[in-house]
Amino acid sequence: MITSVAENGYIRHRFTGVVDADQVRDWYATLDLTNEATSGGIYAFIDYSQLKSITKKAMDLIVDVQRDARDAGLVRVAVVVNSGMLQLQTERLARSSAIYNVERYISSDRTPNWEDVAKAWLIHGIEPSAYRGE
């Protein structure tokens, strides 16, 4: 399941359970990238903290969504992952769509305050590594 909610200056997209291509198509149909971009750029909080799996076809469609968001004015993306494998997959998708430079990855397993860290990147541009002492 994919749900989207406008929050304070960004859109939070929550992916839960098993996500397939039909769900990604339905989600994409509800996005209004033009409206988001005209209000100062697109800031996206991608919450994979409760994602169990995502199909290959769904991942391919996500690359298309990412490219469209990039072209519409994507500024920053915070991606919360629940495993190292998911982070590697997400990084690969971001490289394919040329948005890797605006994405930051936060582990929900290793970062107790992951929501605050993600919001700090989106709203203030504070690198997540600042919270890890890197």
- On whether the pTM is more than 0.95, the answer is no
* For residue 89, pLDDT beyond 90: yes
* For residue 40, pLDDT beyond 90: no
pLDDT, tens digit (0-9, with 9 covering 90-100), for 49-71: 999 999 999 999 999 999 999 99
Arithmetic mean of pLDDT over the chain: 91
d(CA 35, CA 51): 27
pLDDT, tens digit (0-9, with 9 covering 90-100), for 93-108: 999 999 999 999 999 9
Name the nearest CA neighbour of 78 among 120, 35, 37, 41. 120
Q: Give the CA angle between residues 97, 94, 37 to the nearest 5°.
A: 70
Residue 44 has a CB neighbour count (10 Å cut-off) of: 24
d(CA 125, CA 34): 22
Give the percent of the chain with pLDDT over 70. 93
**Quick one: fold of 2-131?**
Transcription Regulator spoIIAA (3.30.750)
d(CA 49, CA 37): 26
d(CA 42, CA 60): 21
